[in-house]
A and B are shown apart, each in its own frame.
Chain A
């Protein structure tokens, strides 16, 4: 499918999904749907760096919370429409992502991951000590009860996050099919060889970290309006990082479909568990699923499906071959 066609299809699917969601019997569905969509954005964003270039970022919460806190700061400064706040949150986290990109000059593998975790801790400490955005007390955000056309504000938040999810997936898929995505794969496989093949590895890594960070920040920007009360402990919650990493791993990291499937699957299970059993169970579920997938399908659901299809094809060929060998050999016709 051509990139433009894909964008159009993605937007159409998003619109259809939104139309369908308006049939929801009550507001809760938007409340829950928002969280799942937010994880689609986060998982896709994580995968642009972690899945495509192989740099594992444990600091998802930092980028996410920075987006959220830029909204809090601006909320107190001057009132802005939500889409603009999303954009600003994206820019703020994108700049921090760019900074993280320069870490890749010296740090690879586990060392890079530890540095990103440290980045999250540093950010949390800074925010906790920044009184203007509420410090450790947290900040209250008053959201309008109604928005024109859509009614309840949660529907609006849901729509914004849905649009972000479509954008994130569109970007991820465009990257995958482009020269950029090809270069990312080279970096993931062997950075030295990538350089030798002419791939400007630093520039590409900076693109990946910036883009990934920006999308996470954009996912975080509407958060204060969603929760209406934000404190550092919840904004920088480790669960964001754990989930955003687990979802692509469960779905599959090599294609845009993986994080999407993983986020829908894991996000929905978590929402179901929250209502039916308890919210404390969420991380346990993630842990068990991760262990299960690492054992059964190390390449995620996408990888599992691909290998099943390959096996089916091989069996199909085998059957054809058996049928052919049972048939009598064509006798040479006498001339």
Chain B
């Protein structure tokens, strides 16, 4: 087995007296597709925030690409190759779609050292990325002109612009219609084929089951299952957490 891309060991996070995450262990291999599910309030978003540096974990450690990243700020983790999309899309509202994509290019790709993209190369890269998600004809528009599904696509394009090794998609499909979910799934599949490992956090089981190679279940801040999707959904603990006894 190759070295893990992301290695989470005994991760813990408290908010006052409330334990949001309790000794969570998780390992993601390069290029892997992992689904992360759990009932509302089970700690999925807290886990994402701890992984990405929006929140600091209280205990345990996060190792990414061979480095301990616990004390790194969010933007430093992004530069290392960890990208995320937000549950509620957070576009840069005053900037055009192309400029939304340009931001991570300027601040990650061009900030990593080594080759920097020329202005012309930046333009080309913005165009390509918008093309990838099917928004090329709206490059000059503002995010407020987009539909909900287009907003999600912009969110993913912006995350991918940072040339990540790992993409954490936090409910990228919530509230979308059946065909729109398929759209996003196809997009994520394509990104995965480019070698990006993906953690998919989702409530839509159809999407999670068809996408994931492995399924992780969080309940009340604890990981209760981790394995092949079919087996995990038959796991009595998981069934109990979702449906009750």
> What residues make up the interface of A, taking CB atoms closer than 8 Å to B?
179, 182-183, 185-186, 188-190, 192-202, 254
Contacts and interface: CB of A to CB of B under 8 A. Distances in A.
A199 B86 contact: no
Interface centre among A194, A196, A254 (most CB of B within 10 A): A196
Interface residues of B, number: 31
A200 B162 CA distance: 14
B108 interface: yes
Interface of A is mostly: helix
Contacts of A182: 99, 102-103, 106
A200 B108 CA distance: 10
Contacts of A201: 75
Interface centre among B52, B104, B110 (most CB of A within 10 A): B104
A198 B90 contact: no
A280 to B, nearest CB: 38
What 8 A-B pairs have minimum CB-CB distances, sorted nearest first? A198-B108, A198-B107, A195-B74, A193-B90, A189-B92, A197-B104, A198-B78, A190-B90
B162 A197 contact: yes
Contacts of A195: 53-54, 73-75, 78
A193 B92 contact: yes
A199 B92 CA distance: 12
Contact of B111 (A192, A193, A198): A198
Interface in B72-90: 73-76, 78-79, 83-84, 86, 90
A110 B99 CA distance: 28
B55 to A, nearest CB: 11
A66 B108 CA distance: 38
A186 B162 CA distance: 15
Contacts of B92: 185-186, 189-190, 193-194
Contacts of B106: 179, 182-183
28 contacts: A179-B106, A182-B99, A185-B94, A185-B95, A186-B95, A186-B103, A189-B93, A189-B94, A192-B54, A192-B74, A195-B54, A195-B73, A195-B74, A195-B78, A196-B78, A196-B83, A196-B86, A197-B75, A197-B161, A198-B78, A198-B103, A199-B103, A200-B73, A200-B75, A200-B76, A200-B107, A201-B75, A254-B94
B158 interface: yes
B65 to A, nearest CB: 16
B159 A196 contact: yes
Contacts of B83: 196
Contacts of A185: 92, 94-95
A179 B107 contact: yes
B91 interface: yes
Contacts of A188: 94
